Amino acid sequence: MELRNFTGRLERGESFVRAKAALADTGSLDIHIKFTRARGRDVNGYYRWNDQRMVLAVKQRLRYPRTAAYGVGTTPRNDRRLGGLPYRLVWHEERFESPDDLLVFVAGHEFWHFLCHSGQRKRDHETKANCNGFAWLREFREWPGPERPVAEIPLIPPRPDHVTTTSADAQTLPLLAIQQSAAPPVAPSVASTRIASASRAVLDAARQLLLFR
């Protein structure tokens, strides 16, 4: 594996991503950390199977903290209309304190796709990739720093709304994000999980599909 950081910054996030990647069989995977110029996106990322390329990009000069909502699961719906989906997406809001937070989240998201494509994990869904991004972010916030061990990557990443974040949990823990820069910040101690309405779910799902391409 080769990891190159073209930003000249984000050293702590880069060190964490290196440590997590070392837990898997990465082969000839080539990871690039960059700044993105994509409009309307705080982060951008993709994993490409043909040339084993992963790009993790964060926008410069953002104001922090920033809040964003993510699809982390589904729930059955009883009001299904003709032609509608039989489920609703479950959204989880998170507050990002730094560009390193954004980097680690998008890295966890894209790395889950890589693990599934390479046969090391199963259930290659966007919601599972988001959950893996959350697991990495949660651990990163309590990680002591370079040269310190990181937790194993789980067979199935836990949903963030089903996890109690404690120091003990951090030791056992192994986008698509809708950026809301104008939204009021969410208190860090509050885990806010919301079930979106049908119209909002469709709109947000479409935005998610664009975010990590």
> Among 198, 189, 184, which Cα is nearest to 69's?
184
Q: Where is 180: in which H helix or E strand?
A: strand 177-180
Question: Are 91 and 207 spatial neighbours (Cβ–Cβ below 8 Å)?
Answer: no
Q: Per mean pLDDT, which range of 5-9, 67-71, 76-80 is the poorest? A: 76-80
Top mean-pLDDT range of 30-34, 83-87, 188-192: 30-34
Output 151 or 80, whichever has higher pLDDT.
151
Task: pLDDT band for 176, please (50, 70, 90 cuts).
Answer: very low
Of 191, 200, 11, 180, nearest to 89 by C-alpha is 200
How many other C-beta atoms can be found within 10 angstroms of the C-beta atom of residue 73? 21
Q: What does the pLDDT read at residue 82? A: 66
Residue 187: pLDDT above 50? no
Mean pLDDT of 102-116: 97
Instruction: For residues 110 and 48, give the distance between their C-alpha atoms in angstroms, rounded to a whole number.
Output: 10
pLDDT tens profile 41-60: 899 999 998 999 999 999 99
CA distance 193 to 162: 10
Q: Rounded distance, CA 36 to CA 55, Å?
A: 10
Structure tokens at 90: 């479950």
Q: Give the C-alpha separation, 141 to 198, whole Å.
A: 33
What DSSP character marks residue 142?
T
pLDDT, residue 41, reads: 87
Cα separation, 14 vs 58, in Å, equals 12
Is the predicted pLDDT of residue 1 greater than 70, yes or no? yes
Q: Give the side-chain half-sphere CA count within 13 A for 167.
A: 1
Mean pLDDT of the region 102-106 = 98
Domain boundaries, the chain: 2-211
| 3-class SS string, 40-86 | CCCEEEEEECCCCEEEEEECCCCCCCEEEEEEEEEEECCCCCCCCCC
Residues of the chain with pLDDT > 70: what percent? 75
Higher pLDDT, 209 or 97: 97
pLDDT, position 79: 78
- pTM for the full model? 0.77
